[in-house]
Amino acid sequence: MKTLEIKEVTVVGAGLMGHGIAEVVALAGFKVNLEDAFPEALEKAKASIKNSLARMVKSGKLTQENADRVFAGMNFTADLKGAVSSSDMIIEAVPEIPDLKVKLLREISQNCRADAIIASNTSNIRISTLAQEVSNPQRLLGLHFFNPPVVLKLVEVIKSDRTSDEVFEETYQFSKKIGKTPIKVLKDTPGFVVNRINAPESLLFCQILDKGLAKPEEVDAFGKSQGLPMGPYELMDYVGIDTVVHSLNYYRDALDKEYGKCGYFNQFMDRKELGLKSGKGFYVWENGKAQIPKAAPSTVIDLMDVLSVEINESAKIIEEGIAEPADIETGVKLGMNRPFGPISVAEGLTNAEIKRKLQKLSEKFDTKIFYPAKSIEEGKLRELLSGKAAKAKEAPATEKARETAPAQESGGEPVTLRKDVEKKVAYLILSNTRNNLINSDVLEGIERHLKTLWNDKEINVIVVRGEGKNFSAGAQLTQFFSGPMDFAENARLGERTFRLLSEVPKITIAEMKGHVLGGGFELSTWCDIRVSTPEAIIGFPEVTLGLVPGWGGSQRLAKLLGMSRAAYLILTGERFDGKFAHEVGLVSRLFPAESIESETDRLAQDLAVRIAPVSAAMAKKLIYKGSEVAADNGLEMESIAMGLLYGTEDLKEGISAFLQKRKPDYKGR
């Protein structure tokens, strides 16, 4: 079927998910109808949306004028027929009850236009099940938002065997327009990607209790020792034990009968102890917090148990043609709010160790769901992941072209390259989490963009800055590493990547603001020039965490400040501000926080036209390489550099401009 441009959207169901989805769509500038048969639900939704918009205004994310415009563009109604009759897209967001959804979708399809797209925000139910009574089922698909929709970026776009390619692609692009990161679920399956990967974990944690192997508080203590904000049982309490039980029962009926092996959770259903919503579940809840008994971390489960189960289910999803590896990785990272997903974990492990772990789990719990997927059983996991994963990681030609085009941005990455060819300045902008934390993806982005700029004659200065209020608060410590050697290689990767900033034949400037800690501080030390706000919070907290500065900080700081001062700052983990950094010579310029970006831009643009790029490249080599050799060798390098510069066009242009009292026009030759 031929699709139309989406301009008006109706969300049916004004509950927690429904009103959140409506707000997201309205914030993107679309006309939105929010329909619910219950007036009290609509009033509650209005209040929630107003409060949410007010918080955005208070935090500076939205102006009051824009907030008023967004709310004014929303229509709250109890008239389903009127709401859907003129809409281009209708999103159903009622409770996860199949019969309720089927009935509602039938009513929607009878009252909306024949060319309107109908999407269900189901989190588990097959789209083919929901399409039973929908007229023109080729226009029906799944559009699964994650809670809370205003905050979480992930959206699963789910194609049934009857959804048209045009509707699927149009909805995928719509998801991007409303500021989300969509992943494609190419084949209808219960739970789709994220919840299906979660399903075997829920079964695993249920069977641990079924067999009396550990207490909930012991397993939760283990989970928190691995850096999780909540243990598995505390999380089940939080979302509702009934939700977990209903999901497992659905998977039992629609996916694999072995999901019916979970018995322990049923006692909570019988007693109506459902967790936070009832005040008691695995734990008693008071003032929104679980009262968890103190316990030592359980030893009956380890991190590899959980990760292997996730990798196994991911392999099944790929084998069944449900999703591509890159989309699985993105889905788990964004949907579970984690720094890594099962694909990147699998790439750091051997097929044999994953297979061994799964065989032991399957035998221990007498559950076939944990048995190795076909590709793992046959030793072909790497083959399953390699071609598709590598292809997904490779930037398309059009994206590479954008990166090298004047004044263009490459978005959706943890490091964005922006070029201003007219000013001869490029910007590397860190944008990974609110604190711009550094992980392997950030390092890969920095390396790739620096290599793009290496021989770019149109760029003379590179500014490294953090998006938002912070430069970088350091390394993302929750990133997965399979062992000491893997961790050491990550340190080498950071050292090699950051060193490029001192080697690239351009002037590099670090714009230090907000938090400049750990790996973020190390990143700044590899730049040629550092500017800062007086209030910036700077330091190496590594020794307070049982680490050392591992991306060159122990070496760079001693060269910049001397051994005595570097030893004090590293060994105490003491934090200091930008004013102190300027006093000791670590920072060259101090700029007010409210104008640091414009002041840094002005400095970069001045250097880009005033300093001969060939001279800057030569000077960098003399400064950094000369500091590593004997004085006589350094002086010899300097005289050779002078000889090389003598024949350059830039030297002639510099002298000519000086004599004519004009600005030079350097070409880098």
Which of the 8 DSSP states describes residue 137?
Answer: G
Q: Is the dihedral of CA 156, 161, 162, 164 positive or negative?
A: positive
Which amino acid belongs to residue 323? A
Q: Which of 225, 229, 269 is nearest to 246 (CA)?
A: 269
Determine contact, residues 52/80, Cβ cutoff 8 Å. Answer: no
Candidate list 489, 542, 638, 653, residue with the active-site label: 542
Q: Beta strand 140-145 with 154-158: parallel, antiparallel or unpaired?
A: antiparallel
Q: List, in order, residues 6 or more apart from 438 with CB less than 8 Å away.
A: 430, 432, 472, 474, 475, 476, 494, 519, 520, 523
Tell me whether strands 537-539 and 74-77 are parallel, antiparallel or unpaired. unpaired
Task: Determine contact, residues 19/34, Cβ cutoff 8 Å.
Answer: yes
Q: List the one residue out of 304, 330, 201 whose CA is nearest residue 259.
A: 201
- Catalytic, 217? Answer no
Q: Which of 522, 636, 638, 653 is catalytic?
A: 522
Q: Which residues contact 367 (CB under 8 A, 6 or more apart)?
A: 203, 207, 258, 261, 361
CA–CA dist 144, 198 (Å, integer): 15
User: Hey, which residues does 416 pair with through a beta bridge?
Assistant: 429
542 belongs to the catalytic site = yes
From residue 220, alpha-carbon distances to 75, 245, 296, 299, 546 in Å are 44, 19, 9, 11, 23
Residue 244 structure tokens: 């977990």
Angle (CA) 265-269-273 rounded to 5° is: 95
Annotated catalytic sites, by residue?
522, 542
